[in-house]
Structure 1
Amino acid sequence: MKLTFGRPEEAGMSADRIRHLEKVVAGWVENKAAPAAAMLVARNGVIVSHEAFGPLTPEPGSPALAKDSIFPLASLSKPVTATCMMTLVEDGLLELTDSVSKYIPEFIGEGKDSIKIHHLLTHTAGMRDEDVHNHSLKEEERQAAIPEPEATQHPNIHKRLHRGYGAPLWKAPGTEMRYFNYGYLLLGELIRRLSGRSLHDYAAERIFEPLGMKDTFFVVPDDRFDRVVERDDQHYGGKWYSSPDKMRLPSAAGGLYSTVMDLAIYGQMFLNKGVYGDTRILSPLTVGEMVSNQIPGVPAARNDEVYVEASWGYGWNVRGPKRDDSGSLRTARAFDHGGAGGVRLLVEPEYGVLWVYLSIESTKLYTRNLFNNVVMSAITV
């Protein structure tokens, strides 16, 4: 099944509710709750809505946001990094129960040889980003020597990895989920070492180019810079992810850029159990493992919320029994991932639905969870 445009009724959805959804998003943009937003909704392979609202940049006289404008995905990069990892598993280059230190011997510290690759994928490594940050500062203060990066690694990511290799364990791996960005940088380094390719090139060759995701990059080409959404927000340090340095930083944890259409193709590939059209990226078994809860019985805490069952797959947030910020109208099989700034891709296999919502979100209203509820309310059969 490939995505095609059609009427909502063809997909078993209400045209009135889809129009209501579009009006709701347009209202968020008009009221500055989301200064800019692009969206795509599809069911059973039928695209029932594909719209964009607001300006491309905050400057006066900015061009309008286009349906193919490119957004920084922030942490929505992580499922793609996980997909790259699983292609290496399918190729027989590693096992998820292997210790991380088997492939990255610089990753040292008491008890850290018990951290397995699957712990990184599920954020259960027993490490915390704040501890990595503090350790890195100490390494910087003592001017610890850093070897020259190989040609396939970005110097800044190479530096961040090396300064964090010796960070301590927080608790035993596998006992609690704690969202761990540095863990995904480690996965990116594993991909680079095992494939012999940069993360940017490997993802393009194994995922983006075969699927026809022509506007998805870990390193944005210079000739696409003028299509990248810009957010001028001092909370994120000025231009946030739209500076040239950011657009050229291939972070496995948060460096991907894409469009709503490209992400919809990626999501449909998962709905199709690893294939899109004539192109197979993953086996059905691999997809099933990625979108299943891989940490049953493992708790998580975030801010003031405590989850008795964290429910996480390989790179994906799996709904399971928990209630989180991805919307109330979801089944237990739904899986998704979001990212800072207001982006999310959600797949609902029980109803054949996928949606992509890419916004430049303000603190006035958290719209991604509300978006999901309006989408799902449009289902009629």
Structure 2
Amino acid sequence: MILTEGNPENVFMSSHKIKHAKETAAQWVADGKLPALAVFAARRGTVVLQEAYGKAAYGEEAPLKLDALFPLASISKAITATAAMILVDEGKLGLNRSVSYYIPEFVGEGKNNVAVHHLLTHTSGMSGEAVYNHVTQKRGSVDIPSPTPGQHPDIHEYLYLSYDAPLWKNPGTEMSYCGYGYDLLSEIISRITGQSLDNFARERIFEPLGMKDTYFVVPESKYDRVVQRNPDGPDQWAGTPRHLASPSASSGAYSTVLDIAVFAQMYLNKGVYGGVRILSKASVETMTRNQIPGVAARWGDQFFSEASWGLGWSIQGNKRDEYGSLCSPQTFSHGGAGGTFLWVDPVREVVGVYFSVYSHYTDCGTDLYSNMIMSAIED
């Protein structure tokens, strides 16, 4: 099933409610709640909504277009997880093998018990803040070898200084959202394939899916299409030249709402899109179910008795979060700093994308938009 434009009624959705969702999104921008917003929704492969509102850059008049490049921020992790699972499908990576099996430098008390699947579910026992502090203390006092060809020097330095950072907790005991785990995944992918993550993802994910506007390293020729934020506002790092050139596995990718919709539809199709298979059906089913039942999580001031996380995806389950209330428990999703959100409801066969530039850290409207789309379903 490929994405094609069509009438909402053809897939048992209310045209009136889809129109209301469009008008509401437009009003949020007109009222100044969001300076820029691009939205997309499809059901059963039929695109029922794709719109862009607001300005492409802070302080300028050029309108936002659907082909604008947004920083995916943490949605990048879903792409990195996909790259890792391609290697699982090919028998080159074992989820239950220790990280140290692939990265012998990953040492310290208890760290031989950290498995690859712990990185994907944020249950490695590593704390991103603690790793950062460890690296900061070591920086300048350790000789760092030159990076291998294709390695980004900053990422290479950070990883080299981090390998002996101590665990925060025993692996598997609590979910603690940790981008560092995905940096380790990127290094494992690189050591197995001999390619950088950005090259591997381009060859094995982006090009086969026709995602011509998705990058871990944005070409300079595309810089004029990158959404620009208020330099004094939240997440102003996104879109800067340094970030555009840094292929971070946890937060470095850029894409459009239309490209990411194709990526999501591939998952809804159980790993295939346009006749091209990216992942096995078994991998998709494994990635998109709760892999850590009974494991709790904390996120800021929120506590979740059931973290409900798959391999690279948040699994809705019974969570009460900022991503909507009307999706099925089987829904899988991922959000990103700066106001990006992607969800797939496999029960109701919906793909939704919400790429915003928000003015404040709170209330970017993600849950309200998701609820409007899901409420339009009539069968």
TM-score of Structure 1 vs Structure 2, range by shorter chain: over 0.9
2: CA distance between counterparts of 1:233 and 1:178?
30
2: CA distance between counterparts of 1:185 and 1:114?
18
Q: Which amino acid aligns with 2:7?
A: R
Aligned to 1:265: 262
Q: Residue by residue, what CA displacement relative to the aligned partner does 1:118-171 show, whole Å, maximum 9, x if unpaired?
A: 000000001101110110111015x21111101121001111111221111111
2: CA distance between counterparts of 1:236 and 1:355?
24
Aligned to 1:93: 92
Matches within 5 A, 1:175-254: 175-236=173-234, 239-254=236-251
SS for the counterpart of 2:138 is: helix
Matches within 5 A, 1:281-360: 281-360=278-357
1:236 deviates by: 4.8
Q: Residue by residue, what CA displacement relative to the aligned partner does 1:160-190 show, whole Å, maximum 9, x if unpaired?
A: 1112211111111000000001111001111
1:366 deviates by: 2.6
Aligned to 2:136: 137
Alignment check: 8 A CA contact 1:232 1:240 kept: no
1:279 corresponds, among 272, 276, 279, to: 276
Matches within 5 A, 1:36-115: 36-60=36-60, 62-115=61-114
SS for the counterpart of 1:234 is: coil
> Is it true that 1:149 corresponds to 2:147 in the alignment?
yes
Gap regions ≥5 residues in structure 1: none
Residue range with higher mean Cα deviation, 146-155 or 44-53: 146-155
Gap regions ≥5 residues in structure 2: none
Q: Residue by residue, what CA displacement relative to the aligned partner does 1:196-240 show, whole Å, maximum 9, x if unpaired?
A: 111111000000000000100001111111001000233557x42
2: CA distance between counterparts of 1:193 and 1:355?
34
Q: Which amino acid aligns with 2:208?
A: P
Aligned to 2:121: 122
SS for the counterpart of 2:172 is: coil
The TM-score with structure 2 as length reference comes to 0.98
2: CA distance between counterparts of 1:207 and 1:309?
31
Alignment check: 8 A CA contact 2:328 2:348 kept: no
SS for the counterpart of 2:139 is: helix
Aligned to 2:372: 374
Alignment check: 8 A CA contact 1:152 1:192 kept: no
Alignment check: 8 A CA contact 2:234 2:338 kept: no
Q: Which amino acid aligns with 2:52?
A: A
Q: Which amino acid aligns with 1:197?
A: Q
SS for the counterpart of 1:345 is: strand
1:78 deviates by: 0.4
Q: Which amino acid aligns with 1:95?
A: G
Aligned-residue CA RMSD (Å):
1.1
Q: Which amino acid aligns with 1:206?
A: R
Alignment check: 8 A CA contact 2:152 2:247 kept: yes
Alignment check: 8 A CA contact 2:233 2:359 kept: no
1: CA distance between counterparts of 2:299 and 2:241?
32
Aligned to 2:33: 33
1: CA distance between counterparts of 2:15 and 2:234?
38
Aligned to 1:10: 10
SS for the counterpart of 1:218 is: coil
The TM-score with structure 1 as length reference comes to 0.97
